């Protein structure tokens, strides 16, 4: 429960009684753990829809659809809204300088599974406006649809978008030129003849269908690579959080983060996460997205591995402050690519997670392999990776490499938890502040049980709340109230009230006994 959601009446009641809403603690790192015996940290269960939830099925979408991070939930309308890229084979002939073959489109859904593509009537395609295409100024590169979000200003109802845009340089602008071997150069003699501008821009729209690019560039693409993702405006930090990547020779990608006061200026990113000795040789960070969780941020960093044909899969990372990030629960993919022969067997490119109620929705664009990337071939019992064409072209096995949009889901705060290595384990927390009179847990104990013991600030078991007296929890709940011989509420005389000091006080540790169960969070 956020402070903003507490009514004035409840706030007065908290002060008068001395009991407050519980604080939730995630177990994505060891900050609140004193000791873990025979336990390991494991990923939460992710439900991955096996088939794409959006395919190219309208003439104006060409052969395929794909996306960056254009998913939002419009709470007043009770709708998911998605901005994505639709293939347009004629686009390169109209805008050869942009080196691009997609244009933006829009879809909406109540459940993120069944999508509608409304006729917006704003873009003419082959003489008709009966399509779901969205009007943006011509662009190339990852484009403004990298991140789409509602304007957070209280008096605004429009939409904002941010991303890397490449377009023909207008009169008076300082141009860049394509180098023949890749990259940018200000010297026309070494590059193409078409002057372009390439950098990060913000776009505005009153309705999400007709967009206008702001005149001011936030940062040049010559010093940061194209995958810039906006986590959003964080009210706790009072900053916009933007994930960006400093450009290096050879375009080796690591992850950086920017903290922006507003979207008129983007400071140069600070390094946040980089491949290390535990990663395969040559591993790079393609992009990162994140979501607020109690006490920090859960993130998904999408690594790509040249030794595996540039396979892209997200790994789970965590940060307390959005500056310093660490991987949690190992290096295994959080949302793995599909098996050989599937539509997403080598490419899972995730969006910003969107929390609605007790569910977290993660859209992604998947494909057999990347755009102009590599594909595994079996020859003589060995795997070798061969270069393939762009999306929409045949692969060596005869299939067309056609991206689509997929969906993965998980339950609230179940990014990762603690589970026994074998059958049982014990988790001892550090001494915790107790805001209220209950202990609540988010846990899955369907195959076993969880018990809890409370200990005072000296580490002694609290009478009446020992492990022997604990009622076992044996279900699957996001918010279960632990009990001891059917008692759920701790006595006020133990904790103290607004008018009396407690015999034990407001600082106790918790000893959890886990038997074939996973504990994700606890609240006290």
Q: Is 202 exposed, middle or buried (0-12, 13-18, 19+ CB in 10 A)?
A: buried
- CA–CA dist 375, 388 (Å, integer): 7
Distance of CA 198 to the CA centre of its chain: 26
- Are residues 280 and 303 located together in one domain of the fold? yes
- CA–CA dist 55, 392 (Å, integer): 13
Q: What is the model's pLDDT at position 282?
A: 80
- Are residues 257 and 117 located together in one domain of the fold? yes
Q: Which phi and psi (to 5°) does residue 35 adopt?
A: -160, 140
* Three-class DSSP category at 20: coil
Tell me which residue of 42, 31, 37 sits closest to 511, measured CA to CA: 37
- Are residues 76 and 222 located together in one domain of the fold? yes
- Are residues 433 and 392 located together in one domain of the fold? no
- Could you give the dihedral angle defined by the CA atoms of residues 38, 322, 330 and 415, in that order, rounded to the nearest 10 degrees? 70
- Are residues 218 and 300 located together in one domain of the fold? yes
Q: What is the model's pLDDT at position 4?
A: 59
- 392 lies in which domain range? 47-413
Domain count, the chain: 2
Q: Which residues of 160-190 are buried (b: 16+ CB within 10 A; e: fewer)?
A: bbbbbbbbbbeeeeeebbbeeeebbeeeeee
- Could you give the dihedral angle defined by the CA atoms of residues 399, 402, 405 and 410, in that order, rounded to the nearest 10 degrees? 30
Distance of CA 512 to the CA centre of its chain: 30
DSSP H/E element including 165 = strand 159-168
pTM: 0.94
Low-confidence ranges of the chain (pLDDT < 50): 180-181, 184-191
Q: What is the model's pLDDT at position 193?
A: 60
- Are residues 7 and 107 located together in one domain of the fold? no
- Are residues 182 and 245 located together in one domain of the fold? yes
- Could you give the dihedral angle defined by the CA atoms of residues 353, 354, 359 and 362, in that order, rounded to the nearest 10 degrees? -40
Q: What is the model's pLDDT at position 157?
A: 75
- Are residues 327 and 201 located together in one domain of the fold? yes
Q: What is the model's pLDDT at position 277?
A: 83
Q: What is the model's pLDDT at position 285?
A: 85
CA distances from 503 to 241, 456, 496, 506 (A): 44, 10, 7, 10
Q: Is 444 exposed, middle or buried (0-12, 13-18, 19+ CB in 10 A)?
A: buried
* Residue 357, both tokens: 């109620």
Q: What is the model's pLDDT at position 189?
A: 42
Q: What is the model's pLDDT at position 250?
A: 62
DSSP per position, 111-160: SSSSEE------S-BTTB--S-B-B----EEEEEEEEEEE--STT---EE
Q: What is the model's pLDDT at position 28?
A: 97
- Are residues 408 and 434 located together in one domain of the fold? no
**Which is it for the CA torsion 313, 318, 319, 324, positive or negative?**
negative
* Residue 279, both tokens: 């990663």
Domain boundary among 382, 413, 444: 413
Q: Which residues of 283-300 are buried (b: 16+ CB within 10 A; e: fewer)?
A: bbbbbbbbbbbebbbbbb
Q: What is the model's pLDDT at position 155?
A: 67
Q: What is the model's pLDDT at position 188?
A: 46
**Which is it for the CA torsion 22, 27, 28, 30, positive or negative?**
positive
Domain boundary among 413, 444, 470: 413
Tell me which residue of 333, 406, 402 sits closest to 364, measured CA to CA: 406
- CA–CA dist 200, 369 (Å, integer): 27
* CATH of residue 141: 2.115.10.20
- Are residues 399 and 466 located together in one domain of the fold? no
- Are residues 170 and 217 located together in one domain of the fold? yes
* CATH of residue 481: 2.60.120
CA distances from 507 to 461, 488, 510 (A): 13, 18, 10
Domain boundary among 413, 443, 458: 413
- Are residues 71 and 25 located together in one domain of the fold? no
Q: What is the model's pLDDT at position 79?
A: 96
pLDDT digits (tens, 9 = 90+) for 13-56: 999 999 999 999 999 999 999 999 999 999 999 999 999 999 99
């Amino acid at each position: 429960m956020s402070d903003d959601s507490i009514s004035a009446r409840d706030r007065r009641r908290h002060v008068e009684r001395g009991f407050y809403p519980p604080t939730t603690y995630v177990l994505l790192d060891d900050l609140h753990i004193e000791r873990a015996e025979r336990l390991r940290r494991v990923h939460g269960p992710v439900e991955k829809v096996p088939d794409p939830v959006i395919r190219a099925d309208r003439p104006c979408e060409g052969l395929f659809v794909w996306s960056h991070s254009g998913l939002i939930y419009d709470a007043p309308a009770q709708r998911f809204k998605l901005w994505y890229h639709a293939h347009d084979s004629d686009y390169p002939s109209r805008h050869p300088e942009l080196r691009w073959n997609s244009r933006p489109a829009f879809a909406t859904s109540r459940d993120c599974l069944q999508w509608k593509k409304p006729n917006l009537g704003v873009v003419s395609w082959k003489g008709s406006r009966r399509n779901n295409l969205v009007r943006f100024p011509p662009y190339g590169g990852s484009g403004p649809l990298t991140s789409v979000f509602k304007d957070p200003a209280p008096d605004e109802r429009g939409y904002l978008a941010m991303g890397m845009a490449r377009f023909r340089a207008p009169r008076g602008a300082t141009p860049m030129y394509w180098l023949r071997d890749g990259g940018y150069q200000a010297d026309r003699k070494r590059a193409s003849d078409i002057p372009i501008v390439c950098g990060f821009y913000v776009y505005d729209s009153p309705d999400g269908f007709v967009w206008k690019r702001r005149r001011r560039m936030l940062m040049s693409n010559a010093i940061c690579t194209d995958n810039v993702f906006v986590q959003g405006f964080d009210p706790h930090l009072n900053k916009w959080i933007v994930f960006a990547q400093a450009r290096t020779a050879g375009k080796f990608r690591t992850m950086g983060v920017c903290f922006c006061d507003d979207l008129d200026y983007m400071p140069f990113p600070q390094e946040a996460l980089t491949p290390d000795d535990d990663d395969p040789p040559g591993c790079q960070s393609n992009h990162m997205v994140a979501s607020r969780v109690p006490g920090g941020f859960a993130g998904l960093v999408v690594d790509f591995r040249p030794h595996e044909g540039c396979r892209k899969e997200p790994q789970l990372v965590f940060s307390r402050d959005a500056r310093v990030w660490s991987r949690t629960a190992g290096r295994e993919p959080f949302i793995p690519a599909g098996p050989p022969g599937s539509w997403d067997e080598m490419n899972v490119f995730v969006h910003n997670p969107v929390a609605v109620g007790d569910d977290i929705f993660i859209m992604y664009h998947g494909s057999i392999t990347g755009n102009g990337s590599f594909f595994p071939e079996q020859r003589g019992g060995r795997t070798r990776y061969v270069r393939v064409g762009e999306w929409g072209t045949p692969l060596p096995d005869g299939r067309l490499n056609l991206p689509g949009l997929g969906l993965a889901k998980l339950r609230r705060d179940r990014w990762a938890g603690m589970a026994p290595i074998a059958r049982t384990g014990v988790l001892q927390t550090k001494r915790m502040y107790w805001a209220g009179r209950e202990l609540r847990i988010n846990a899955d104990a369907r195959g076993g049980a969880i018990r809890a013991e409370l200990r005072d600030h000296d580490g002694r078991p609290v009478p009446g709340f020992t492990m022997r007296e604990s009622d076992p929890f044996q279900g699957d709940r996001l918010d279960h109230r632990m009990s001891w011989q059917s008692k759920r509420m701790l006595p006020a005389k133990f904790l103290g009230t607004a008018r009396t000091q407690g015999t034990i006080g407001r600082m106790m540790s918790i000893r959890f006994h886990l038997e074939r169960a996973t504990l994700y969070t606890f609240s006290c």
